[in-house]
Amino acid sequence: MPLLSPINNQIRTNMKLYAEQYKNELFHNILPFWQEHSLDKAQGGFLTCLERDGKVFDTDKFIWLQGRQIWMFSMLYNEVSPKKEWLDVALHGADFMEKFGRAEDGTWYFSLTKEGKPLTQPYNIFSDCFATMAFGQLYKATKVQRYADIALNTFNSILERIQNPKRKWSKAFEGTRPLKNFALPMILCNLSLEIEHLLDPAMVSSLIDNCIHEVMEVFYDQKSGLILENVAPDGSFVDCFEGRHLNPGHAIEAMWFIMDLGERLGKPDLIERAKELTLKHLESGWDQEYGGIFYFLDVLGKPSQHLEWDQKLWWVHVETLVALAKGYHLTKDQRCLEWFEKVHQYTWEKFRDQEYGEWFGYLNRKGEVLLPLKGGKWKGCFHIPRALFQCWKVMEKMAETTFKEAV
């Protein structure tokens, strides 16, 4: 058997090291933190407002974070190992969510008290999106039909609301400046695959085609070469705060969804374009002075309306690591590997809490911890463990592929 070349041998070694690092972080740091601190054993569901050491600082429960954690532990049960402890966590959350999470029309509230009383009306369609993901994965794990029914009914409700996601809860004045937002078509790229085991194949195919068109064409700004967060209903640019708004992390996260779809569909051109857009957003969003990726930017370089525009957030960086890992794996573009190593170094050095476990979520522009919390209204058990899982699997695959190509 021929020996590996020195270059391939080094790449294989690096990929194996990365795979082990991400895998170990997932199983020995992140998951134990949430298993220990987030389960509300008295009232059910998950407590996500956690201080640096895991102490609970608020007991409100946010439906989209409940769904995300149910999905996370169900997915690991399905994809890694059927561990009873993981399924127990998922069922613990699902019991609470199923009992208290829905309004009379079947849509999902945004937040509840610790006992399960509604606090915030079902204005946020992403509560429904993550409920769909949660019960779709839980059905895979349990084959309990009512979980499939919940996922399907919620998904159908999402499709009915695509043109008006917030319904009567929208604050916008109808007709003056109609805008469509990138977040929903972006998440549908992923959601359609998450529950395809429950959908007719023709429907999945149609959804995928439409999502790719929306993400890669409708929200793509020809002039800047970037993806906008808000456009007019016909996809045209609107010169206002919302119309100029860029969210580099959102765009990059969407690109690894698109790469997954490109791989599934056997479309290397789509993968290539998603990889190039990943690099484009990273190059334009990287803070050349302090490092890290800006949270928000203005496509015309004007002042952002968001006071947090220059913060560095956990999810932006870990989703970028996934996109770069997939970009390198699928295209072998050396720039992806170079950027991965750069973002990896920044992310692990700045966000990981060496003392109390888990990772910080919010840094200031200089990379200093802005909020020491480990969870809250927006941060829960999702982006970090999902990204660690994705990077582990991609790096593991690359180590094996590099070895096979070299022998």
Q: pLDDT means per 10 residues in the chain (407 residues)?
A: 56 93 98 98 98 98 98 98 98 98 97 98 95 98 98 96 87 90 91 93 94 96 97 96 98 97 96 98 98 98 96 98 98 97 98 97 98 98 98 95 51
On the CB side of 365, CA atoms within 13 Å amount to 12
Residue 173 lies in a domain: no
Instruction: Please report the pLDDT score of residue 302 as a whole number.
Output: 97
Give a yes or no: residue 155 inside a domain. Answer: yes
CB 112 within 8 A of CB 58: no
* Sign, CA torsion 119/121/127/132: positive
Q: Is residue 214 in some structural domain?
A: no
| pLDDT, position 35 | 98
Residue 145 lies in a domain: yes
Residue 105 lies in a domain: yes
* Residue 406 pLDDT: 42
- Predicted pLDDT of residue 189: 86
Q: What is the pLDDT of residue 1?
A: 35
Position 403 scores a pLDDT of: 44
At residue 230, the 3 state secondary structure works out as strand
Is the C-alpha dihedral spanning 134, 137, 141, 147 positive or negative?
positive
In a domain, 268, yes or no: no
Q: How far apart are CA 288 and CA 302, in angstroms?
A: 18
pLDDT of residue 7: 52
Please state the domain count of the chain. 1
Cβ density class 154-186: b for 16+ within 10 Å, e for less: bbebbeeeeeebeeeeeeeeeeeeebbbbbbbb
- Domain of residue 140 covers 61-166
Residue 141 lies in a domain: yes
pTM of the model: 0.95
28 within a domain of the structure (yes/no): no
